[in-house]
Structure 1
Amino acid sequence: MDTTNQMINVTGVATATLDVGGDLSPITIIGNESIRQTFDANTIGQAINCRMAPGVTSVVLNPDAHVGYGAPVGCVMASPTHVYPGPVGVDIKCSMSLLQTDLPADAINEPTVRRKLIQAIAKRVPTGAGRGQRHVPKSRPVDGRLGFQLTTDGASKSVLKKLGIPKSWASRCEDAFHTAHDGSCDTLAARLEWMGRTRDSLDRLESKYRQLGSYGGGNHFGECEVVHVAEDLASRKIAESFGLKDGHVAFLSHCGSRGLGHDLAMGQFRAMKSSFEKRGRAFPAGDPQLVHAEVDSDEGRSYLGDMAMGANFATVNHLLINQLVLESFRDVFPGIRGDLIYFISHNIARLEPLDGRPQWVHRKGATRAYPAGHPELDRTPFAETGHPILLPGNPRDGSSVMVALPGASLSAFSVNHGAGRRMSRTKAKKLLDQQTIDADLTQHDVMSNCREYPRDEAPDAYKDFGEVLASVQAAGLATEVARLQAKFVIKDGSPADD
């Protein structure tokens, strides 16, 4: 769609709207002037296509927004009646998690100590597309039976016990498990049994189960952090309630549902596209990546079931990674303790109360932001504070733990999931200098498991994290509780899952 004549109306220091015409409500844009300059015509065009798609009631562009699969990465799209695979993404429930330890920061000052930690993690947690337990000596074995159970049950007590994960960590998940449209795990089990009805399909499923407890490629990572809690009293109280420890070591992870989620998502794209073509239906804005289904249709129920299974796998994948990382730290520092602070997704559609009615809120590279007192946080550890928001920036400039403010209602109770790309992978590989990247990280005392840090993942391939955070705070969506300073990074140079 030609966006040349579309007008962005600035409404505040870090907020704006974009009119799409007719009786449709405008698109909400979060970003100061500097950030708005990063939104190119293709990103704006995708957002407009999403807003004009059937059943959609609202669209939000967050500061990290850039072109994605059907919908911009960094957008929120809500509908009470329809589900869209594109605005969820190929890596179903790609997520962030944060593990806090009681290890003081000065214990990892020496590079030799950090190298031991990197090596210990590498023995337990594989990285890269297609990798699984068989590639590392100290992983958790996952057979077909356990893989089936965790994909249909999520982080149940039984699953956590079998994997040696503390059962208390389930209460620190945005969602510990997902069910089918009818609220049943049995419906998921029946569908998964049907998917594995042939030997070839069963073998493929079991090969994906074996990726549990591993990072993907591209922008997935594990990062050892030092926690710096904000100095004001309110932030310190919230940080304490979260379990954050100022001046101590934490571990931040970014990963999703791996090959299983990819297969489920691509299967749904193919099925919905075929359904559109058989019925002679036009794709929204001519884009097959915006295929969709009504929630109460067979296609809609099928998608929600597959999304739930991918999300269950992603949840347990993160929890297992955190447990394996904690065990790796104990190889070097016997007896240290660690607890999960939070696990939160940014590629998911959730049924949430929005604008006075239940709606399917699709977050594509966006993360939930519920403030204190939000009814959805009742009976959770975060009812009185709001839940932790985990925002990765980059290893050089740090990452952030935030908490939502009441103003998050402006953005469908969502914020960005990170800094967002300012360069495509191809452009970053072409323009960024390897020696400069590696020297920059060395200067900032950041180590890596990579001989050469991936150029397409370099800090300068992403937007200015300071401007991104400033936009969120100036818009009144959230406030920073703590900054995370990277000390080493676990990455892989393989193509990204999402």
Structure 2
Amino acid sequence: MSLTGNDLKGAGFEEGKALGLALQAMEKNFSALSAADQLSLLKQVVADPAAYQQDEYLGAVANQLLQPADPIISLEAPKAYTVYGAEGIEQGAMGQMQTAMQLPVTVGGALMPDAHQGYGLPIGGVLATHNAVIPYGVGVDIGCRMCMTLYTMPTSLLQQKTDAFKKMLVDNTRFGLATFKKPQDDAIFERKEFQDLNILRGLKDRAWQQIGSSGGGNHFVEFGVVEITNAIHELNVPVGQYLAVLSHSGSRGLGANIARHYTDVAMNLCKLPAEAKHLAWLGLDTEAGQEYWLAMNLAGDYASACHHQIHDRLAVALGEKPLAMIENHHNFAWKEKDAQGREIIVHRKGATPAGKGVLGIIPGSMASPGFIVRGKGLAASISSASHGAGRLMSRTKAKASISPAAVKAMLQREGVELIGSGLDEAPMAYKNIHQVMEYQKDLVDTLGTFMPRIVRMCGDERFQEVD
């Protein structure tokens, strides 16, 4: 198991570059040692750094320990940014975005109408930086995404054979801690990053166990009805009604561990004031920054592979070949160009890419429609849109204030069958998706809608709808 920043603090390290260098040294050169032996060695270095200054592997750590403490990086005056639907966004999220706009590496930003407070960059925050990537600007669930497959099957089947469709979801999806007894192999596991990066070597087995499964929380797989109102010519999808599968999930334990590890590294290398500490960045011209970039992209591709396996399993169960697939992701960082043609790093934490012509899916809740959209590439939004309706209330408040009876009544009114889910994911816990879409009408064109009919989420045994 890899050491963490807290482990090293317990061994006598203080916040700073030495801690980050020590983590890297242990991963690269001492991974064969047990965690206890690694800590024992590092305690010796802390106790007498001068004795290790010429050491091939620990010299950099020792020399850094002998340096004066790292100065705090000063924040700048906040740069201007655009807010969409400000009246529906809590002050905590606005404050976090304001802090992000004060970073020396920041060159632009925008806040989407589904925004709410998170860690570091708010959920729904878009931040453009120069030559720097912020692990908490990407988020913990790296590469979380929406994926939809469309079928020419009659949508009436969802009502006529509801039990059969529910069984398909139960048999072919797994959530939270549940995984398949026999996971399917995938080409993603041949990627060289699993061999080249120490952090990934120890995560490969767990990633294999979780392939094809979904996380907890707001992740779902559902059958529903799509109404295409503007033909999607590049996918050969004409105007009409389609049976569809929609999934929402991310990179599981793989992404979470990558995020935690490189956030620790960033916070130890990049010292910021307390209010900005979760916005610590890694320079893309540094080894740690390049490692994170490779690991982040692998996690995003792994998330995509999970979705493709979900949709492949359900295609087999349906006995049909899908007409088309639409997929987009958030919780990621992209290399893009600004209006002057300069490369920028665009973080979209809970925000959907909406470049000119780019297809995307913006879901509502389990009892409200999602939208199939095409981006307009608006510069003020940094070519972005919301990634969903956004939370109206916290999970704690939702559990305390929403009754199972009220949720059940709403789902019956909307004709939605639910498998699993807790009260924190009740439809009332989310913003009005129609209002959110109105706030961003300048950012995307609507091509169609998706209405959930049979929904599966991670189960909460206090509130189950499964027979």
* Common fold by TM > 0.5: yes
Cα distance change, pair 244–492 in 1 and its aligned pair in 2 (3 A): farther
Cα distance change, pair 45–24 in 1 and its aligned pair in 2 (3 A): closer
Distance 2:296 2:460 in 1: 24
- 1:83-111 Cα shifts (integer Å, max 9, x gaps): 1011110000000111001111112222x
Matched, 1:369 2:354: yes
Distance 1:96 1:208 in 2: 19
Correspondence for 2:83? 29
Q: CA shift at 1:218, angstroms?
A: 0.4
User: Which of 399, 411, 421 is the equivalent residue of 2:391?
Assistant: 421
Q: Give the TM-score normalised by structure 2.
A: 0.78
Cα distance change, pair 242–441 in 1 and its aligned pair in 2 (3 A): farther
Distance 2:110 2:236 in 1: 28
Correspondence for 1:463? 431
Correspondence for 2:109? 59
Correspondence for 2:243? 249
Q: What amino acid does structure 1 have at the position aligned with 2:263?
A: F
| Unpaired segments ≥5 residues, structure 1 | 1-20, 154-185, 331-335, 372-385
Cα distance change, pair 248–196 in 1 and its aligned pair in 2 (3 A): closer
Cα distance change, pair 448–370 in 1 and its aligned pair in 2 (3 A): same
Distance 1:45 1:23 in 2: 14
Q: State the SS of the aligned residue for 1:250.
A: strand
Give runs of aligned pairs for residues 113-132 of structure 1, distance below 5 A.
113-128=161-176, 130-132=177-179
Give runs of aligned pairs for residues 402-413 of structure 1, distance below 5 A.
402-406=373-377, 408-413=378-383
Distance 2:276 2:77 in 1: 23
Q: What amino acid does structure 2 have at the position aligned with 1:132?
A: T
Cα distance change, pair 56–119 in 1 and its aligned pair in 2 (3 A): same
Q: CA shift at 1:449, angstroms?
A: 1.5
Distance 1:53 1:240 in 2: 40
- 1:138-189 Cα shifts (integer Å, max 9, x gaps): x6433xxx5xx50564xxxxxxxxxxxxxxxxxxxxxxxxxxxxxxxx4x24
Correspondence for 2:8? none
The question of whether the paired residues in 1 share the 8 Å contact of 2:353 and 2:383 is answered with: yes
Q: CA shift at 1:301, angstroms?
A: 1.1
Cα distance change, pair 426–152 in 1 and its aligned pair in 2 (3 A): farther
| Unpaired segments ≥5 residues, structure 2 | 1-74, 462-467
Q: State the SS of the aligned residue for 1:253.
A: strand
Correspondence for 1:150? 188
Cα distance change, pair 151–68 in 1 and its aligned pair in 2 (3 A): farther
Distance 1:248 1:310 in 2: 31
Distance 1:490 1:298 in 2: 41
Distance 1:458 1:309 in 2: 32
Bigger radius of gyration: 2
Q: State the SS of the aligned residue for 1:216.
A: coil
Q: CA shift at 1:37, angstroms?
A: 2.4
Correspondence for 1:222? 221
Distance 2:100 2:374 in 1: 28
Distance 1:196 1:239 in 2: 40
Distance 1:123 1:325 in 2: 9
Q: Give the TM-score normalised by structure 1.
A: 0.73
Correspondence for 1:355? 339
Give runs of aligned pairs for residues 77-92 of structure 1, distance below 5 A.
77-92=127-142
Matched, 1:273 2:267: yes
Correspondence for 1:379? none
Correspondence for 2:30? none
Q: CA shift at 1:309, angstroms?
A: 1.8
The question of whether the paired residues in 1 share the 8 Å contact of 2:422 and 2:460 is answered with: no
Q: State the SS of the aligned residue for 2:415.
A: coil
Distance 1:152 1:65 in 2: 37
Correspondence for 2:21? none
Distance 1:205 1:284 in 2: 35
Correspondence for 1:383? none
Q: State the SS of the aligned residue for 1:307.
A: helix
Q: Percent identity, please.
A: 28
Q: State the SS of the aligned residue for 1:415.
A: strand
Distance 2:178 2:258 in 1: 18
Structure ranking higher on relative contact order (CA contacts 8 Å, 6+ apart): 1
Say what the alpha-carbon RMSD is for the aligned residues. 2.2
- 1:298-339 Cα shifts (integer Å, max 9, x gaps): 221121122122112112111111111212222xxxxx3214
Matched, 1:191 2:196: yes
Matched, 1:292 2:335: no
Q: What amino acid does structure 2 have at the position aligned with 1:466?
A: H
Matched, 1:454 2:425: no
User: Which of 359, 366, 380 is the equivalent residue of 1:395?
Assistant: 366
Cα distance change, pair 417–316 in 1 and its aligned pair in 2 (3 A): same
Equivalences, count: 386
Q: State the SS of the aligned residue for 1:60.
A: strand
Cα distance change, pair 360–133 in 1 and its aligned pair in 2 (3 A): same
Correspondence for 1:435? 405
The question of whether the paired residues in 2 share the 8 Å contact of 1:53 and 1:284 is answered with: no
Distance 2:224 2:233 in 1: 15
Correspondence for 2:296? 307
- 1:256-313 Cα shifts (integer Å, max 9, x gaps): 101111111111112222334xxxx3x2553332121111112211211221221121
- 1:62-86 Cα shifts (integer Å, max 9, x gaps): 0000001211101100012211011
Q: State the SS of the aligned residue for 1:109.
A: helix
The question of whether the paired residues in 2 share the 8 Å contact of 1:100 and 1:245 is answered with: no
- 1:405-431 Cα shifts (integer Å, max 9, x gaps): 25x222111100000001000000001
Cα distance change, pair 393–285 in 1 and its aligned pair in 2 (3 A): same
Cα distance change, pair 431–244 in 1 and its aligned pair in 2 (3 A): farther
Correspondence for 1:342? 326
Q: State the SS of the aligned residue for 2:196.
A: helix
Q: State the SS of the aligned residue for 1:52.
A: coil
Cα distance change, pair 414–152 in 1 and its aligned pair in 2 (3 A): farther
Q: CA shift at 1:245, angstroms?
A: 6.0
The question of whether the paired residues in 1 share the 8 Å contact of 2:363 and 2:371 is answered with: yes
The question of whether the paired residues in 2 share the 8 Å contact of 1:151 and 1:309 is answered with: no
Distance 1:291 1:270 in 2: 9
